[in-house]
Amino acid sequence: MPEGDTVWRTAQRLDHALSGRALTKSDFRVPQWAEVDLTGQLVLETVSRGKHLLTRLETVTLHTHLKMEGSWHVYGHHTSWRSPAFQARVVLANDQWQAVGFRLGEVELVERTSEGDVVGHLGPDLLGPDWSPDEALSRLRAIPQRPLGEALLDQRNLAGIGNMYKGEVCFLFGIHPRTPVADVAALPALVERARTLLWVNKDRAQQATTGDLRRGKSLWVYARAGQPCRRCGSKIRSATFDELPVRDATAKGSLSPDQDRARSTYWCPTCQPEPKR
């Protein structure tokens, strides 16, 4: 699932292409909204809220969520789509651009006054104007014995952290992801570092937490199971988040790479010792 900075960047692209222009075409290729026609409506803006996208028009808001496989593409009118047409779920066009949502995990139209029904449950957005470190810390600490990694992924606590940033920020602070929130003395600094990482990466496609943008050098632990830790040389480990036994990434019966990365937690056993039970 895309991280919050990727969704923020998607919102920026959609906002640039659609906002301030009337739609010349709207095509909803999902059964619930198949008969809706928004042609002629002015698009006001597109904003991100954590991992959610809100495209605001004159009368309604289009709420979309990419989930694991979704994406929004922006094309000129005479440009071929990079994904097959059967994967398109929404097409919005104006006199200059067409925005196409492929394999979107969620598509729904809500009244402008009812956006809270779809994003009101979210905690403070790490990249949003509502960001409040005090509120985020209060929500994280509400369940003191909850594993830190799990708490960081809960969008009700703070919105925007996905599996990659969860693993990377835990490594940077030398904290095992299963450490209870109550035992993390550096929680305020960790939350601020997470925000900094999303902020510095939001304007570039190549995310980096190491400071090195070169391919294969940009991350500390995420998706690096079995490879040496960049700090101490120990082999990076991974386990599914429901605490199944540690698995070697190349072992028979492993999940596909994409599934494995989506579900797994990565850490260095030396730099991030597992908490005593």
Please tell me the distance from the alpha carbon of residue 249 to that of residue 43, in angstroms, as a whole number. Answer: 45
Is 69 noted as a catalytic residue in this protein? no
Sheet with 97-102: strands ordered across: 25-28, 88-93, 97-102, 71-76
Is 247 noted as a catalytic residue in this protein? no
**Neighbour count for residue 225 (Cβ, 10 Å):** 23
Is 208:14 a contact under the CB 8 Å cutoff?
Answer: no
For residue 193, give both structure tokens: 């570092």
**Neighbour count for residue 270 (Cβ, 10 Å):** 13
CA-CA-CA-CA torsion sign (230, 146, 181, 162)? positive
Please tell me the distance from the alpha carbon of residue 167 to that of residue 170, in angstroms, as a whole number. Answer: 5
Catalytic hit among 103, 188, 263, 269? 263
Task: Give the C-alpha distances (Å, rounded to integers) separating 91 from 27, 81, 109.
Answer: 5, 11, 14
Pairing type for strands 97-102 and 88-93 reads antiparallel
Is 51 noted as a catalytic residue in this protein? yes
Is 56 noted as a catalytic residue in this protein? no
For residue 172, give both structure tokens: 């940077």
Please tell me the distance from the alpha carbon of residue 234 to that of residue 91, in angstroms, as a whole number. Answer: 48
Buried b (16+ CB within 10 A) or exposed e, 172-185: bbebbbbbebeebe
Catalytic hit among 9, 51, 56, 89? 51
Catalytic residues: 2-3, 51, 263
